[in-house]
């Protein structure tokens, strides 16, 4: 739609400032961003604000010019001042220990949010008022610092006991406190930064719910009433909808995303439909539209209807979690409805600026959240771009053109942010949004609201609208489940640079100007801008010749192994995929999304590196901690060739994985013993183990591990799997092994590997141990670490250093780790 503005400029004959609120909001945002890059002190920023404001005010008073620049730079400095002030005070009042070990403490505080139960794990947010650290004499008083606690649940009774806690209850808790983790792998989630922006500096673990004692139960508060209402509404949806779609409707109507089955959410994420599962402007608009329809049909005037909706929208926002997109939509809708009531000017761009400015003043850290960025960027693009784009489409019906223009503009605006934050885009996203979003917004959500309202009276009354919307959702889920399995339409990209994103935004502005016919020969400029946009986007996936460099990343997959080799020409070799040992669990213990190393670590790293396919997959052997994560890799990326040992598959996990790889077209090879393969100029590998006759017992597969020597530009890396001392001696008898630069320590540093003779033969300069923190096996063994250090071998461990990256160039080798 077009943005009409019938107001006169603030200054005639001078600076044309038609939207001062928009200018202030953009300047404020620029100031917050500038402070995050350069970290100015709030004092200097405030001084600059005073000088700029005074100078600009005097200049404007004398010359009647420069109001635009004065507003923008004053607000920029104001944003910088606010960001510096807030950041300086975002500190923890809990004493930090001198070591990195966890802190054992007795906490006293209140429940800050309703607890969440997920299988055998519960989460409880406590607003701490006092804590007593073990080994100290005096308690520490903490002014309301929030600490999320993870609780191990032992039985369904523990789940029920945790569920009974509500906001405001005063507790005493014995917990182990620790600092949140930064990103431990490239492309991984930075939990420390995320929580820091929420004002949270510690996490805690509680070994048993018996370590939580209730000290005081206050009378119900407003928050409790909202929690009870939300629970009642969720129970109503469970009653009127089949179990297959009840969780999905709770996510769409109430913002309870944790109720949506993980398989459904994963498909929606891959296909660019995940915005339907988070309460956003779409949901607010549908809610307001349904309320308007009902009220006007029963005879309420338009003005009174607008007033009722203004009061209802904040209630709906709080009820659904008050996320950034909801708050933005509520502010803009409330301002627009107020304009209708007062019959004053209506300028949606100014409303957008007011929402942006207000939310940044409330919490400047929101500017760094993906949901906030996507909500405001896409909304701005829709306000500015839908009208010009729809007029350029060829169909004769304006409604059809506008329907096509909305997802087109939204996709173009959200593309750089999606690639930057999530490293993935689906080529089918525009097409799916074109028909799924109208179906959900025009049918599913209104019918769901009707089913919810009628179901509150009696579940039987909601049967018809619930049945229709359930049928529609079944059709949508059938399509998303089938299409979500296609690997071809999914494109992965490394995060683009800030310069690339700024240039992308400039190209979009160029397109908007040419479509609006604001330049001479706008048709020519239109084609030039579209070609420029296409080339700029394709540049993300077109490899440009660069320096010769081979990169090996030893991922931190916990107690397991996984490494990725990227050659200068773009070949990708994945060695194992990590995994975890599975133990029998009861139904109540199953979590919505169990931790899966391939899904949580390996695949995100591959996507963040822009890797589209695996050229070589080396399965060293069939243990679960080496191949358990490869299922997720095989599901999401094509694998060209697989190299494994010559022995038969020994576990159901290994057989299932091999069947999946063969069905997807992967060619399976047996490790070619002794042959040196040249992968590309300057890069080769040689397989050293196992031989065809080296069959171990069926319950012992470590000595069946594939071992190979990688050579790049004269540097050597020994990849060992879980080989043990027996296998090491076998290789020493058969091969005259050279000295190596990097040794991947076998079997996570177990005492059964990395023998004295092995180290003396290959003489590594550096050793990498892939091992999990606090693992129950005691890896790496102290004697192995001693052997390495006695030989002055530099040791890097994924449990302490996170992922380790080795870069090799002609005449140079460099090593870096995610953690110091």
Q: Give dist(CA 199, CA 803) in Å, integer.
A: 27
Q: Where are the beta strands (DSSP E) in 746-789?
A: 766-769
- Can you read off the two tokens belonging to residue 671? 């490790």
Beta bridge partners of 669: 643
pLDDT at residue 223, rounded to an integer? 83
Query: What is the number of structural domains in the chain?
Result: 5
Domain boundary among 54, 88, 122: 88
Looking at the fold, whether 331 and 419 belong to one and the same domain comes out as no
Looking at the fold, whether 578 and 440 belong to one and the same domain comes out as no
User: In degrees rounded to 5, what are phi and psi of residue 796?
Assistant: -120, 135
For residue 743, pLDDT over 90 is answered with yes
pLDDT at residue 2, rounded to an integer? 43
Burial label, 641 (beta-carbon count in 10 A; 0-12, 13-18, 19+):
middle
Looking at the fold, whether 658 and 783 belong to one and the same domain comes out as yes
- The confidence band for 617, taking pLDDT boundaries of 50, 70 and 90, is very high
Residues 754-789 pLDDT 10s: 999 999 999 999 999 999 998 888 999 999 999 999
Looking at the fold, whether 339 and 470 belong to one and the same domain comes out as yes
pLDDT at residue 283, rounded to an integer? 85
Q: Where are the beta strands (DSSP E) in 337-432?
A: 424-426
- The confidence band for 196, taking pLDDT boundaries of 50, 70 and 90, is very high
9 assigned to some structural domain: no
pLDDT at residue 451, rounded to an integer? 94
- The confidence band for 1, taking pLDDT boundaries of 50, 70 and 90, is very low
3-state per-residue secondary structure call for 571-620:
CEEEECCCCCCCCCCCHHHCCCCCCCHHHHHHHHHHHHCCCCCEEEEECC
Percent of the chain clearing pLDDT 90 (strictly above): 50
Looking at the fold, whether 396 and 267 belong to one and the same domain comes out as no
10 assigned to some structural domain: no
**Mean pLDDT within 99-106:** 82
pLDDT at residue 699, rounded to an integer? 45
pLDDT at residue 750, rounded to an integer? 94
| 3-state class (DSSP) for residue 146 | strand
What are the C-alpha distances in Å from 411 to residues 179, 251, 269, 426, 531? 38, 23, 14, 10, 17
Looking at the fold, whether 665 and 724 belong to one and the same domain comes out as yes
| 3-state class (DSSP) for residue 787 | helix
Which position has the higher pLDDT, 545 or 315? 315
For residue 14, pLDDT over 50 is answered with no
Give Cβ neighbours of residue 559 (< 8 Å, ≥ 6 apart): 580, 625, 748, 771, 772, 775, 777, 779
pLDDT at residue 74, rounded to an integer? 83
Q: Give dist(CA 533, CA 113) in Å, integer.
A: 45
Closest CA to 26 of 385, 415, 352, 497: 352
Q: Give dist(CA 315, CA 300) in Å, integer.
A: 20
93 assigned to some structural domain: no
Give Cβ neighbours of residue 659 (< 8 Å, ≥ 6 apart): none
15 assigned to some structural domain: no
Q: Give dist(CA 411, CA 377) in Å, integer.
A: 11
End-to-end CA distance of the chain: 52
Looking at the fold, whether 748 and 798 belong to one and the same domain comes out as yes
Looking at the fold, whether 269 and 166 belong to one and the same domain comes out as no
- Structural domain including 410 reads 387-427+496-542
11 assigned to some structural domain: no
Q: Give dist(CA 387, CA 648) in Å, integer.
A: 63
Q: Give dist(CA 11, CA 504) in Å, integer.
A: 33
Looking at the fold, whether 615 and 699 belong to one and the same domain comes out as yes
Which residue is associated with the tokens 């060739």?
A: 641
- Can you read off the two tokens belonging to residue 357? 């400015």
Percent of the chain clearing pLDDT 70 (strictly above): 91
Entry pTM: 0.89
Residues in the chain: 820
**Mean pLDDT within 778-804:** 95
Q: Give dist(CA 248, CA 244) in Å, integer.
A: 8
- Can you read off the two tokens belonging to residue 619? 């399965």
For residue 17, pLDDT over 70 is answered with no
Give yes or no for a contact between 808 and 712, defined as CB atoms under 8 angstroms apart.
Answer: yes
Give yes or no for a contact between 111 and 126, defined as CB atoms under 8 angstroms apart.
Answer: yes
Residues 203-225 pLDDT 10s: 999 999 999 999 999 988 888 88
Q: Give dist(CA 16, CA 10) in Å, integer.
A: 7
Give yes or no for a contact between 126 and 179, defined as CB atoms under 8 angstroms apart.
Answer: no
Residues 714-725 pLDDT 10s: 999 999 999 999
pLDDT at residue 8, rounded to an integer? 44
User: Cis before residue 780, ω within 30 degrees of 0?
Assistant: yes
558 assigned to some structural domain: yes
Which of 73-77, 318-322, 410-414, 698-702 is the least confident region? 698-702
Looking at the fold, whether 109 and 205 belong to one and the same domain comes out as yes
Q: Give dist(CA 579, CA 632) in Å, integer.
A: 10
- 348-362 and 20-38 are packed helices; what angle lies between their axes, rounded to 10 degrees? 40
pLDDT at residue 61, rounded to an integer? 57
pLDDT at residue 272, rounded to an integer? 87
pLDDT at residue 98, rounded to an integer? 62
Q: Give dist(CA 655, CA 648) in Å, integer.
A: 9
| 3-state class (DSSP) for residue 428 | coil
Q: What share of the chain is helix, strand, coil (3-state, %, to 5)?
A: 50, 15, 35
Sheet holding 707-712, edge to edge: 676-680, 683-689, 707-712, 715-719, 742-744, 766-769, 794-797
CATH number of the domain within which 575 lies: 3.60.15.10
- The confidence band for 395, taking pLDDT boundaries of 50, 70 and 90, is confident
The CB-side HSE value for 397 (13 A sphere, CA atoms) comes to: 4
Residue 760 neighbours by CB distance under 10 Å: 11
395 assigned to some structural domain: yes
What are the C-alpha distances in Å from 561 to residues 128, 375, 597, 772, 799? 39, 39, 10, 10, 12
- The confidence band for 333, taking pLDDT boundaries of 50, 70 and 90, is confident
Residues 538-549 pLDDT 10s: 888 876 666 689
Burial label, 438 (beta-carbon count in 10 A; 0-12, 13-18, 19+):
middle
Residues 476-508 pLDDT 10s: 999 999 988 888 788 888 899 888 999 999 999
DSSP assignment letter at 673? B
- The confidence band for 445, taking pLDDT boundaries of 50, 70 and 90, is very high
**Mean pLDDT within 48-74:** 67
CATH number of the domain within which 180 lies: 2.40.50.140
The whole-chain average pLDDT of the chain stands at: 87
Residues 33-58 pLDDT 10s: 888 877 666 566 666 666 666 666 66
Domain boundary among 444, 470, 487: 487
| 3-state class (DSSP) for residue 680 | strand
Give yes or no for a contact between 134 and 104, defined as CB atoms under 8 angstroms apart.
Answer: yes
For residue 7, pLDDT over 90 is answered with no
Q: Give dist(CA 676, CA 465) in Å, integer.
A: 67
Give yes or no for a contact between 187 and 805, defined as CB atoms under 8 angstroms apart.
Answer: no
- Can you read off the two tokens belonging to residue 261? 């089955």
- 498-515 and 398-422 are packed helices; what angle lies between their axes, rounded to 10 degrees? 170
Residues 119-168 pLDDT 10s: 889 999 999 999 988 877 788 888 889 999 999 999 999 999 999 999 99
Looking at the fold, whether 321 and 198 belong to one and the same domain comes out as no
Domain boundary among 88, 112, 128: 88
- Can you read off the two tokens belonging to residue 107? 């906490």
3 assigned to some structural domain: no
Evaluated on CA atoms 478, 479, 482, 484, the torsion sign reads: negative
Looking at the fold, whether 213 and 314 belong to one and the same domain comes out as no
pLDDT at residue 545, rounded to an integer? 62
The CB-side HSE value for 400 (13 A sphere, CA atoms) comes to: 5
Which residue is associated with the tokens 């060829």?
A: 394
Q: Give dist(CA 751, CA 724) in Å, integer.
A: 9
pLDDT at residue 397, rounded to an integer? 79
- Can you read off the two tokens belonging to residue 387? 């009208």
pLDDT at residue 3, rounded to an integer? 43
Q: Give dist(CA 168, CA 109) in Å, integer.
A: 9
Which of 186-195, 236-245, 524-533 is the least confident region? 524-533
Evaluated on CA atoms 608, 614, 617, 622, the torsion sign reads: positive
């Amino acid at each position: 739609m077009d943005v009409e503005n019938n107001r006169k400029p603030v200054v005639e004959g001078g600076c044309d400032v038609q939207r001062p609120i928009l200018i202030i909001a953009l300047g404020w945002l620029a100031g917050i961003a500038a402070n995050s890059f350069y970290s100015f002190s709030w004092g200097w920023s405030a001084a600059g604000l005073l000088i700029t404001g005074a100078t600009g005010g005097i200049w404007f008073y004398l010359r009647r010019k420069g109001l635009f620049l004065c507003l923008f730079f004053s607000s920029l400095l104001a944003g910088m001042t606010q960001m510096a002030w807030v950041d300086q005070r975002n500190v923890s009042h809990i004493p930090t220990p001198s070591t990195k070990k966890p802190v054992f403490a007795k906490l006293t505080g209140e429940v800050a949010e309703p607890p969440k139960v997920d299988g055998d794990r519960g989460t409880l947010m406590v607003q701490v008022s006092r804590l007593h650290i073990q080994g100290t004499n005096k308690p520490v008083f903490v002014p309301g610092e929030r600490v999320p606690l993870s609780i191990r649940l032992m039985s369904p009774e523990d789940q029920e006991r945790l569920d009974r806690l509500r906001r405001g209850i005063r507790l005493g808790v014995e917990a182990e406190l620790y600092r949140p983790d930064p990103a431990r792998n490239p492309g991984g989630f930075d939990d420390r930064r995320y929580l820091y922006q929420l004002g949270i500096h510690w996490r805690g673990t509680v070994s048993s719910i018996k370590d939580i004692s209730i000290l005081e139960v206050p009378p119900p508060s407003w928050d409790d009433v909202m929690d009870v209402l939300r629970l009642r509404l969720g129970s109503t949806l469970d009653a009127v909808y089949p179990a297959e779609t009840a969780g999905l409707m709770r996510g769409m109507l109430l913002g309870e995303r944790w109720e949506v089955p993980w398989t459904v959410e994963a498909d929606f994420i891959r296909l660019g439909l995940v915005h339907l599962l988070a309460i956003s402007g779409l949901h607010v608009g549908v809610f307001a539209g349904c309320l308007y329809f009902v009220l006007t049909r029963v005879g309420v005037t338009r003005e009174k209807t607008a007033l009722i909706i203004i009061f209802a929208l904040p209630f709906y926002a709080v009820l659904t979690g008050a996320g950034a997109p909801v708050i933005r939509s509520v502010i803009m809708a409330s301002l627009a409805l107020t304009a209708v009531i007062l019959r004053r000017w209506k300028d949606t761009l100014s409303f957008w600026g007011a929402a942006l400015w207000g939310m940044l003043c409330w919490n400047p850290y929101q500017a760094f959240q993906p949901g906030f960025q996507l909500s405001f960027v896409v909304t701005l693009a829709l306000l500015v771009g839908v009208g010009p784009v729809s007029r350029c489409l060829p169909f004769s019906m304006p409604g059809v053109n506008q329907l096509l223009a909305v997802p087109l503009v939204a996709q173009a605006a959200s593309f750089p942010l999606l690639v930057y934050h999530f490293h993935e885009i689906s080529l089918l996203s525009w097409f799916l949004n074109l028909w799924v979003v109208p179906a959900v917004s025009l049918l599913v959500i209104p019918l769901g609201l009707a089913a919810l309202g009628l179901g509150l009276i009696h579940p039987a009354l909601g049967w018809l609208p619930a049945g229709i919307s359930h049928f529609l959702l079944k059709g949508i889920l059938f399509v998303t489940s089938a299409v979500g399995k296609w690997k071809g339409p999914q494109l992965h990209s490394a995060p683009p640079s800030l310069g690339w994103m700024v240039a992308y935004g400039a190209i979009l502005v160029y397109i908007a100007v040419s479509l609006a016919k604001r330049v001479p020969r706008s048709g020519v400029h239109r084609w030039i801008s579209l070609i420029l946009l296409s080339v700029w986007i394709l540049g993300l996936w077109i490899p440009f010749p660069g320096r010769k460099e081979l990169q090996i990343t030893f991922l931190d997959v916990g107690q397991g192994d996984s490494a990725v080799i990227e050659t200068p020409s773009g070949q990708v070799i994945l060695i194992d995929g990590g995994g975890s040992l599975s133990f029998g669990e009861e139904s109540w213990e199953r979590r919505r999304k169990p931790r899966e190393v391939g899904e949580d670590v390996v695949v995100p790293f591959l996507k963040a590196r822009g890797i589209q396919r695996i050229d070589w997959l080396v399965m060293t052997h069939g243990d679960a901690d080496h191949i358990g994560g490869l299922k997720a890799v095989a599901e999401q990326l094509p694998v060209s060739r697989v190299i494994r040992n010559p022995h038969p598959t020994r576990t159901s996990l290994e057989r299932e994985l091999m069947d999946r790889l063969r069905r997807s077209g992967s060619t399976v090879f047996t490790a070619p013993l002794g042959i040196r393969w040249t992968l590309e100029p300057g890069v080769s590998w040689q397989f050293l183990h196992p031989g065809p006759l080296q069959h171990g017992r069926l319950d012992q597969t470590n000595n069946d591990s594939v071992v190979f020597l990688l050579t790049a530009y004269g540097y050597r890396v020994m990849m060992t799997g879980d080989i043990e001392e027996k296998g090491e001696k076998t290789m020493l008898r058969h091969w005259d092994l050279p000295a190596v630069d990097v040794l991947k320590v076998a079997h996570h540093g177990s005492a059964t590997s990395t023998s004295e003779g092995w180290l003396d033969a290959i003489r590594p300069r550096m050793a990498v141990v892939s091992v999990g923190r606090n693992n129950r096996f005691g890896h790496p063994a102290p004697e192995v670490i001693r052997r390495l250090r006695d030989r002055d071998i530099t040791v890097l461990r994924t449990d302490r250093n996170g992922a380790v990256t080795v870069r090799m160039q002609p005449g140079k080798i460099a090593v870096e780790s995610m953690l110091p």
